[in-house]
């Protein structure tokens, strides 16, 4: 989840402090490198960039001394290309008269880089931000003006992105939106553009929101909008922003957890685009297919994703996989590992000590090490033989939401590829995630009242929904401090049923293929006076036997478990807030666990 900011002024001035401050205000989005470029009236460009944090890089490279009439800064969250100076943004075109930076993922980046090199362009990095610049260069060097070149580049660049670009011979910047956020800020003599509001609000509260398929042409104190589809001008009035800086960082949501729950349709869509375009997936799948034993190794939330991943691999590819907690992997399987085995090590941060310990043991035994990780450049990413990124951007809230979902989506995608199934159907999933959030969110407040009086409860699932029940229980434990135990629904009668008393809440996550078994469990609770909260697709059996039914959109046995986590995330969030807790930063917990 990169961040971009561009500014156009009416005179040569010190832009370094403005660009640095804008970068600082975007740093909550997460990043691994930073860069600034300023355009001078004499057609020269000053570009400085490197990996590292804003203040350190700004101090070392002297951002404060940079001057110009126009400027671009970018914070990069690595997806294509490891964190490095050459992969940091902004980027030049081949001969240095175009400069640009982007936010998002250009999923055909690898193919484009080969095309650009074959056409004689100078391709310096592995980064897809550079591909945005070359995509414009391709058409600009054929005689088209900047707007027409950007319109044509839009058709060449696949994925979800926004980018800003300038030409040395003009007094303008150009910005384009396709999926990623983009907003313009206006003053009497300055115009700026950014990925989102925090970097703009110190300069102006008069803003213009850019929509997908639109080009913003920024001049000092004014902006023109042009539609990509037909090149026609668009008329839109600016609006005045009243949000505080904190609210702007959270996108108007009261907490990052809620914001990140609502980002899940977009990050799932971006991951699918990325996996479809990846040249690494085929080799990754082949390693999994040929493994003597296939282990899925993780901790906490990531382990629950591995459990559901194992279900998908068995169902769709006929491939047995062993999900295992990282410390137990060492004790239970370490002595029996060999070079014919493969381990998929999964982590949001890529720095989880327990996972890295397990990886080291596997490496010593000659195991092929694969990874699924969100933080590019992390230890897990650079240590693994092969890595696939989760493409979630920065997850600020300590409880994992969007990273869990994308881990599961990645496993589903890999299982379908291994089993020879077409993956096009997966593009229905982001739409269904969005529909689920819209459908269930209004139902959550009534259910939070059922949980608030209780200090403990259970969340039960079966088959593919068992891992979802475990993850939902973990979310409730993390942010509400209610002790919620996740359990296989058929195990509940073997002891824990004794906990049920009058109005005692028990949550069931029902897969559409397992309704009869779930109904049996529901009745075991109901007939003892408990209150049953059911998450599942509309089904007369569930509605007749349960007390509360949170209805998921019809999606079938593959997607329904994934959709089932969304109400549990929302329920945990609502109960946490109702109890007066901060769901973003639960007590005693850390986002990255680097201790044994």
Predicted local distance difference test score (pLDDT) of residue 1: 57
Looking at the predicted structure, is the pLDDT value of residue 166 above 80?
yes
* CATH architecture of the domain with range 437-596: 3-Layer(aba) Sandwich (3.40)
What is the average pLDDT score of the chain? 93
Given a cut of 90, whether residue 360 has pLDDT beyond it is yes
Question: How confident is the model over 241-300, as pLDDT tens digits?
Answer: 876 767 667 888 999 999 999 999 999 999 999 999 888 999 999 999 999 999 999 999
Q: Which of 53, 353, 579, 591 is catalytic?
A: 591
CB 211 within 8 A of CB 177: yes
Is the pLDDT assigned to residue 377 strictly greater than 90?
no
- Phi, psi (5° rounding) for residue 188? -65, -35
**CA nearest neighbour of 27 among 48, 53, 64:** 53
Which pLDDT score is estimated for 532? 95
The Cα 337–Cα 362 span in angstroms is: 7
| Distance in angstroms (rounded) separating the CA atoms of residues 117 and 510 | 52
Give domain 3-240's CATH number out of 3.40.1790.10, 3.90.950.20, 3.60.20.10, 3.40.50.300.
3.60.20.10
**What pLDDT is recorded for position 590?**
66
pLDDT at 2: 79
Distance CA 559, CA 401 (A): 17
Task: Please choose, from the candidates 145, 32, 50, the residue with its C-alpha nearest in 3D space to the C-alpha of residue 90.
Answer: 50
SS3 of residue 120 by DSSP: coil
Radius of gyration of the chain from its Cα atoms, rounded to whole angstroms: 25
Task: Give the pLDDT band (50/70/90) at residue 105.
Answer: confident
- Return the structure tokens found at 225: 């909008």
Judged on CB neighbours under 10 Å (0-12, 13-18, 19+), 227 is middle
Per the annotation, the verdict on 591 as an active-site residue is yes
Q: Say how many residues make up the chain.
A: 596
447 vs 102: CA distance, rounded Å: 42
Q: Are strands 483-488 and 505-509 parallel, antiparallel or unpaired?
A: unpaired
Q: Check residue 241 and give its pLDDT.
A: 82
- pLDDT score of 378: 80
Token readout for 81 is 């290309």
pLDDT of 302 > 60? The answer is yes
Q: What distance in Å separates the CA atoms of residue 25 and residue 198, rounded to the nearest whole number?
A: 6
The whole-number pLDDT of residue 446 equals 87
pLDDT band at 327; cut points 50, 70, 90: very high
How many C-beta atoms surround the C-beta of residue 280 within 10 A?
Answer: 14
Confidence of residue 539 (pLDDT cuts 50, 70, 90): very high
pLDDT tens for 217-238 read 999 999 999 999 999 999 999 9
Active site residue 2: yes
Burial classification of residue 120, based on how many CB atoms lie within 10 Å of its CB (0-12 exposed, 13-18 middle, 19 or more buried): exposed
DSSP 344: E
Rounded average pLDDT over 196-215: 91
Q: Which of 379, 406, 410, 411 is nearest to 393 (CA)?
A: 406
Cβ atoms 203, 255 nearer than 8 A: no
Mean pLDDT value of segment 388-407: 92
Contact 294, 321 (CB under 8 A): yes
Equal fold, 3-240 vs 253-422: no
* Cα–Cα distance list, 78 to 82, 106, 125, 373 (Å): 6, 12, 12, 12
The whole-angstrom separation of Cα 589 and Cα 398 is 7
First to last CA, the chain: 29
User: Does residue 596 surpass a pLDDT of 60?
Assistant: no
CATH architecture type of domain 253-422: 3-Layer(aba) Sandwich (3.40)
Q: Is the pLDDT of residue 328 over 80?
A: yes
- Residue 181: pLDDT band (50, 70, 90) is confident
> What average pLDDT does range 298-311 have in this prediction?
97
Domain residue spans of the chain: 3-240, 253-422, 437-596
For residues 276 and 424, what is the distance between their CA atoms, to the nearest angstrom?
Answer: 9
């Amino acid at each position: 989840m990169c961040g971009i900011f561009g500014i156009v002024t009416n005179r040569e001035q010190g832009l370094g402090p403005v660009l640095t401050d804008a970068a600082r205000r975007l740093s909550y989005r997460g990043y691994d490198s930073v860069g600034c470029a300023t355009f001078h009236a004499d057609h020269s460009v000053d570009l400085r960039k490197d990996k590292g944090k804003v203040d350190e890089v700004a101090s070392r490279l002297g951002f404060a001394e940079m001057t110009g009439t126009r400027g671009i800064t970018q914070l990069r969250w690595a997806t294509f290309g490891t964190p490095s100076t050459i992969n940091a943004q902004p980027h030049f075109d081949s001969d240095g008269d175009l400069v640009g930076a982007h936010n998002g993922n250009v999923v055909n980046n690898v193919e484009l880089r080969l095309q650009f090199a074959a056409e004689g362009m100078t391709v310096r990095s592995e980064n897809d931000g550079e591909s945005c610049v070359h995509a414009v260069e391709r058409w600009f060097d054929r005689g088209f003006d900047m707007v027409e070149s950007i319109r044509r580049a839009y058709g060449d660049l696949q994925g979800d992105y926004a980018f800003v670009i300038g030409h040395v011979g003009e007094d303008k910047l150009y910005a384009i939106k396709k999926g990623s956020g983009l907003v313009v800020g206006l003053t009497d003599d300055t115009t700026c553009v950014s990925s989102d509001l925090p970097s703009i609000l110190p300069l102006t509260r008069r803003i213009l929101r850019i929509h997908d398929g639109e080009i913003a042409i920024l001049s000092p104190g004014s902006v023109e909008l042009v539609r990509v589809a037909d090149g026609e001008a668009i008329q839109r009035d600016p609006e005045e922003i009243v949000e505080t800086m904190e609210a702007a960082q959270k996108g108007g949501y009261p907490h990052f957890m809620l914001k990140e729950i609502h980002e899940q349709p977009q990050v799932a869509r971006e991951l699918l685009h990325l996996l479809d375009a990846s040249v690494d997936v085929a080799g990754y799948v082949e390693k999994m297919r040929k493994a003597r034993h296939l282990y899925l190794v993780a901790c906490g939330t990531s382990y629950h994703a591995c459990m559901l991943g194992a279900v998908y691999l068995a169902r769709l590819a006929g491939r047995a996989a062993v999900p295992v907690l990282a410390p137990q992997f060492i004790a239970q399987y370490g002595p029996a590992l060999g070079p014919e085995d493969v381990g998929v090590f999964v982590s949001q941060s890529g720095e989880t000590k327990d996972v890295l310990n397990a990886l080291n043991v596997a490496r010593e035994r000659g195991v092929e090490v694969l990874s699924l990780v969100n933080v590019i450049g992390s230890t897990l990413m650079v240590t693994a033989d092969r890595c696939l990124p989760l493409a979630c951007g920065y997850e600020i809230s300590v409880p994992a939401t969007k990273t869990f979902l994308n881990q599961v989506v990645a496993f589903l995608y890999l299982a379908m590829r291994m089993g020879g199934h077409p993956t096009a159907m997966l593009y229905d999933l982001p739409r269904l995630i969005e529909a689920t959030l819209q459908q269930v969110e209004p139902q959550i407040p009534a259910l939070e009242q059922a949980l608030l009086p209780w200090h403990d409860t259970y969340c039960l699932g079966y088959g593919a929904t068992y891992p979802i029940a475990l993850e939902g229980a973990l979310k409730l434990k993390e942010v509400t401090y209610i002790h919620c135990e996740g359990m296989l629904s058929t195990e509940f009668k073997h002891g824990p049923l004794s906990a049920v008393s009058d109005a005692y809440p028990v949550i069931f996550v029902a897969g559409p293929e397992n309704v009869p078994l779930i109904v049996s469990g529901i009745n075991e609770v109901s007939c003892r006076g408990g209150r049953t909260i059911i998450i599942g697709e509309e089904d007369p059996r569930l509605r007749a036997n349960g007390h509360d039914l949170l209805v998921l959109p019809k999606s079938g046995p593959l997607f329904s478990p994934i959709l089932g986590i969304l109400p549990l995330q929302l329920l945990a969030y609502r109960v946490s807030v109702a109890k007066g807790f901060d769901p973003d930063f639960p007590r005693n917990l850390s986002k990255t666990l680097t201790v044994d």
